[in-house]
Structure 1
Amino acid sequence: MNQFPDGFLWGAATAAHQVEGGNVNADLWAGEWAPGSRFAEPSGDACDHYHRYPEDIGLLAGLGLNAYRFGVEWARIEPEEGYFSRAALDHYRRMVGTCLENGVTPVVTYNHFTTPRWFAAAGGWNGTAAVDRFARYAARVTEHIGDLVPWACTFNEPNVISMMVHLGIVPAAAREDGLGLPDGTGGTAGTAGTGADGQAGGQSGSGGSWPAPNIEVMAAAHRKAVEAIKSGPGNPAVGWTLALIDLQSADGGEVRWAATRQAAELDWLDVSRDDDFVGVQTYTRERIGPGGVLPVPAGAATTQTGWEIYPQALGHTVRLAAEHAGVPVLVTENGIATADDEARIAYTAAALDGLAGCIADGVDVRGYLHWSLLDNFEWTSGYAMTFGLIAVDRSTFARTVKPSARWLGEIARAGRLR
């Protein structure tokens, strides 16, 4: 029950905007500095991963991990519409190459929430040319790095904002109180100001608002991007990653639970049926009663973000994804925001135990990528939430490997839970 298959991917994940620093052409950079911003602090230099990636990839490999999920940043690659920066593309090719030189499998995410300012100004994902613009970008990235990339994710959690807006819940994978993104109602997605009916008010944290992307648009953009990536060079496995909360029905909440799960998860998993895999990103559970999401149970342990510590969630959502999408599963995010590294080890051990149970029951799971490699910029929470296996000094950028990182590396080397 605690054995993992040969070739299993063991690693950690990051997102470009959260670790690179200086992402000045991104829509969220503008939001972080806007008057009245809901961001606790701007991303600034982040972890300076843009320059320090060789050290970070080396640390990951030295721990015994064999996979690294990271994002290529659209706002750097196409800072103005139609202009593709060869320097930025070369940078990401070097990152992929550094992974391979260190025996690390690169898992590349083409879009992890942030978009170029020009794209946002043109209507974002609801602009008339959004699908074609993203496909053009995906084709250009693939042309430059596709021959070296075995795993590609088009989007990170395309369901997350719609979940916040339409269902009135903030999924754990969305971080502490949303992304500071417009919610489509004139407000900002997140817990503050968002009720059980998903209605919100006030000004957007990015200084404006536009409708949240719907599943039809995101599915169309995904499909067209998959086609572009599959056109080569290379022959990567391609999918997208979804925020999958372990949704559970409380007494009287069965109808609302079913509707929530359908709109927030199952409809999106349907899109994955034509893909090579689906990325599962799970942190906790949410219990749904007749009036909506219920509070964390009294006395339950919680994380820095206030979420219930519930590691069993991962096994539950992996089974759901495998059953509903019918494709292999790659766990692309799972972790815990805590300053207590022993708690991180305990949470991860329990989550991996559930994952091993899935595999023992025949679920096709290809890997486990922990969130996150580094303590990083956690959206509106700034740098207060520590998810990382490696600590980063905010003044010097010095890296300190945590005991949890060494523990996970030992599990990866052994291929089994101790």
Structure 2
Amino acid sequence: MSESTTFDFGPVPSGWLWGAATAAHQIEGGNTNSDWWAFEHQEGSPAKESSGDACDSWHRWRDDLELVREMGLDSYRMSIEWARIEPAEAEFSLAALEHYRIILATAQEMGLKTSVTFHHFTTPQWMALQDGWMNAEIVDRFARYVDIAVQHLGDHIDLAATINEPNVVAGMGYQHGGFAPGIAAGDVGLRAATENFVGAHLKAREVLKAGPGDFPVGLTLALPDQVTHPDGTLDGPGFRWDELTPGTPEAERMRMWAGVYLEAAQDDDYVGVQTYTTEHLDAAGNLLPVPEETRVTQMGWRFEPEALGRSVRHAHAVAQVPVIVTEIGIATMNDDERIEYYSRSLTSLRQAMDDGVEVRGFYAWSLLDNFEWAEGYRPTFGLAAVDPVTFDRALKPSGRWLAEVAWSSRS
């Protein structure tokens, strides 16, 4: 497959958003007051390297906006950093708020719709030292931060997500300890963090709806297409979300992973679906080994673009609100492979839409090759490459391909 390969997604509905996504900690650099910065630098950390200067987007944010405009996309998804806005408890930085206001206002002046996430994996270190999302007080503290932020930024927000993939943070950060803040509290940690994430989302949604600004509000979820094999083997029968018997341990595990959030989203304006692959699990929820002959990405994930269509169907059926694909992409050095992944993902998405699933947008992950959390800089998801020394951005063929897809869908 070459960059000139044509792909016809078909016409998009009114109000559809083609976009590219980023997250503050992964691109800004120098986020020293966050739990992730502390996690990266602690002795024996699972993080392979420090985020360091990342893509230097704290200073080069205009370059990022120019890339989105160059591709002719409708929207830029970014996050604002709680640890910069509230670097110490109850101490708010007007300079950080003004920095983000200028970015959002400039994006709108360039004709881009702004999509703002208020929490994308990172929490201020001062809060993490108080057990972070296991501490019920975080619900009110998060709402206070969101309120301060929206007072300054609300007039320049076109779409908002309260929290990005809370299910990943609850599981990896508080159950297993593989993500910041590195707490391995097992099911106790998972349940406490999940309860507080749901509570924080509901309270933040109320704050955002009060304005200023008038924009759709939702949350985003990691929704891999998951298949549970009760006998623990890939050769045995496998069951997806809606095929599990309600009340069984397997079904309750799935509900704790995503169901509680999809239920919380039933009063939202949309739910953000973020699907990268199909996962096969045993009865205890552990990932089954991927066979050696299986095609995988740089992350070791199965190359399963069609997973997206299955996930948006499930999310729409449970949440019963419109879906926005707020992240999807592939870590690969082969840009032809990236184009293949996107084309097959979009084909599965169109099939779901044709079957009645209400979808309102598609954001590619990621705009840039950036810091991929515990995996560091090795995985490359970007539509644009970033020079690690000069920080110069260079759009890849896949970025130009997506631009053509977006353009043709509007004609």
> Normalised by the size of structure 2, how large is the TM-score?
0.89
Which of residues 258, 261, 264 in structure 1 aligns to 2:251? 258
Unaligned runs of at least 5 residues, structure 1: 169-176, 186-197, 200-208
Aligned to 2:5: none
- Aligned counterpart for 1:268 among listed residues 261, 266, 277: 261
More deviation in 403-412 or 266-275?
266-275
- Distance in 2, matches of 1:310 and 1:253, equals 16
Q: Which moved more, 1:310-319 or 1:5-14?
A: 5-14
Pick one of 193, 197, 222 that aligns with 1:214.
193
Aligned partners of 2:179 and 2:390: how far apart in 1?
26
Give the deviation of 1:163 after TM superposition: 4.0
* 2:380 match: 386
Alignment of 1:71-82 (within 5 A): 71-82=79-90
- The letter of the residue matching 1:217 is N
Matches within 5 A, 1:15-414: 15-164=23-172, 178-185=178-185, 213-250=192-229, 251-252=236-237, 254=239, 257-290=250-283, 292-414=286-408
Distance 1:77 1:228 in 2: 17
Does the Cα contact within 8 Å between 2:9 and 2:405 map onto a contact in 1?
no
Q: Assess if the C-alpha contact under 8 Å between 2:175 and 2:183 holds in 1.
A: no
Could you give the per-residue CA deviations for residues 283-319 of structure 1, whole angstroms, max 9, x where no partner exists? Answer: 0011234464322244221000110000001010000
The superposition leaves residues 239-283 of structure 1 with CA deviations (integer Å, 9 ceiling, x where unpaired) of 110110101244255566534322212222111101111010110
User: 1:6 Cα deviation (Å)?
Assistant: 3.2
| 1:55 Cα deviation from its structure 2 partner | 1.2
- 8 Å CA contact retained: 1:182, 1:211: no
For 2:189 and 2:163, the matched residues in 1 are separated by 19
d(CA) in 2 for partners of 1:394 and 1:219?
38
In the alignment, the residues of structure 2 paired with residue 210 and residue 42 of structure 1 have an alpha-carbon distance, to the nearest angstrom, of 25
Matched, 1:2 2:9: yes
Provide closer, same or farther for how the CA distance between residues 215 and 179 of structure 1 changes in structure 2, counting only shifts above 3 A.
closer
Letter in 2 for 1:376: N
Tell me the alpha carbon deviations over residues 70-97 of structure 1, each in whole angstroms, 9 at most, x when there is no partner.
0000011011111111110011111111
Q: Give the Cα separation in 1 of the matches to 2:174 and 2:351.
A: 33
Worse-matched range after superposition: 25-34 or 11-20 = 25-34
- Paired residue total: 388
Letter in 2 for 1:262: R
In the alignment, is residue 415 of structure 1 matched against residue 406 of structure 2? no
TM-superposed CA distance for 1:35, in Å, is 1.8
SS of 1:159's equivalent? helix
TM-score, scaled to structure 1: 0.88
Partner amino acid, structure 2, of 1:152: A
Gaps of 5+ in 2: 1-7, 230-235
Residue in structure 2 matched with residue 204 of structure 1 by the alignment: none
* Per-residue deviation, 1:213: 4.6
SS of the residue 1:111 aligns to: coil
CA contact (8 A) 2:275 2:307 kept: yes
Aligned residue type for 1:227? E
Look up the SS of the partner of 2:51 in the other structure: coil
- The answer to whether the Cα contact below 8 Å between 2:175 and 2:189 also exists between their aligned partners in 1 is no
Query: How far did 1:120 drift?
Result: 1.1
Could you say which residue in structure 2 is the equivalent of 1:188?
none
Q: 1:249 to 1:211 in 2, by over 3 A?
A: closer
> Could you tell me how far 1:21 is from its partner in structure 2?
0.4
CA distance in 1 between counterparts of 2:192 and 2:103 reads 30
C-alpha distance in 2 between matches for 1:183 and 1:279? 26
1:122 CA drift (Å): 2.2
Alpha-carbon offset, residue 126 of structure 1: 2.2
CA contact under 8 A between 1:165 and 1:212: conserved in structure 2?
A: no
CA drift of 1:361 comes to 1.6
- Alpha carbons of 1:339 and 1:127: their partners in 2 closer, same or farther (altered >3 Å)? same
Inter-partner Cα distance in structure 1 for 2:92 and 2:282: 49
Q: Distance in 1 between matches of 2:228 and 2:350?
A: 25
> Is residue 174–residue 183 contact of structure 2 (8 Å, CA) maintained in 1?
no
Separation (CA, whole Å) in 2 of partners of 1:260 and 1:416: 41
Q: Aligned partners of 1:49 and 1:416: how far apart in 2?
A: 30
What is the deviation of 1:184? 2.9
Identity of aligned residues (%): 48
Deviation at 1:320, TM superposition (A): 0.4
Q: Which amino acid aligns with 1:223?
A: L
Alpha-carbon RMSD across the aligned residues, in angstroms, is: 2.3
Say if 1:109 and 1:41 are closer, same or farther in 2 by CA, change over 3 A: same
- Aligned partner of residue 226 in structure 2, secondary structure: strand
Distance 1:369 1:213 in 2: 31
